[in-house]
Structure 1
């Protein structure tokens, strides 16, 4: 049953390369720890709303566990005695791939648990942050 006495949880994806993190109850920085679809030229100009980008992020080791932790964080805040708003911000470099996919999945999990959530993608429609070929990392942290 949905608890209508509490405001919905707000989940915001964003890119640190565009602006600072938004104000939030909890901020998750995924820039340095998870595979970046940006390094794949076939995925670079797509967003997490594309199934192949979403799948690339969600099959990265550790991402499912992170989503579970974010959901547990939401429940911890919701368990408090005050019905204060809960806002979660998830950031990568560009806000188009990792942070957006993790935000989407978190909202899906919460919805499945009857927790109302508002999903916002602050930077998903912004331009891809390009890296000069000679300085672009060859690792999983290529840019978003």
Structure 2
């Protein structure tokens, strides 16, 4: 199996509470199964740019397995007969904590495997959603 690691991958994190998910080949919903920093008053107003948020998300059991499984899914799309970028969208509730942390970790993993990755965060800078 030949993997076209030169395939471009576009990853976009988002918050479901800010609108519909972006169109993607692979959409990952992080809302139910992974630690939400929003519930911690110390982390709520921080974002994935802050180390305590990243540490909280990345220490959630199962998150590294999901990063690896998502990277494997991207590799599978890249092996397909059609040319063009592979689009990945990953979302959490507000788009400030889990989704951008996961997106950055996935981007790092894919870059290490030789993929060209464009990373964007649709809702990272939006206000905290009060829920």
TM-score w.r.t. structure 1 length?
0.85
Aligned CA-pair RMSD: 1.2
1:17 match: secondary structure: helix
Bigger radius of gyration among the two: 1
Give structure 2 stretches of 5+ with no counterpart.
none
> 2:5 touches 2:78 (CA, 8 Å); kept in 1?
no
Pairwise CA distance, 1:3 = 4.6
Could you tell me how far apart the structure 2 residues matched to 1:30 and 1:47 are? 16
Could you tell me how far apart the structure 2 residues matched to 1:16 and 1:53 are? 19
Could you tell me how far apart the structure 1 residues matched to 2:49 and 2:114 are? 22
Q: How many residues align?
A: 128
TM-score w.r.t. structure 2 length?
0.94
Pairwise CA distance, 1:84 = 2.3
Q: Which runs of 4+ in 1 moved over 6 A?
A: none
**Quick check: which one's helix share is greater?**
2
Pairwise CA distance, 1:15 = 0.1
Matched with 1:74 is 74
Spell out the pairing of 1:1-144 with structure 2 (5 A cutoff).
Answer: 3-4=5-6, 6=7, 8-131=8-131
1:83 match: secondary structure: coil
Could you tell me how far apart the structure 2 residues matched to 1:33 and 1:110 are? 23
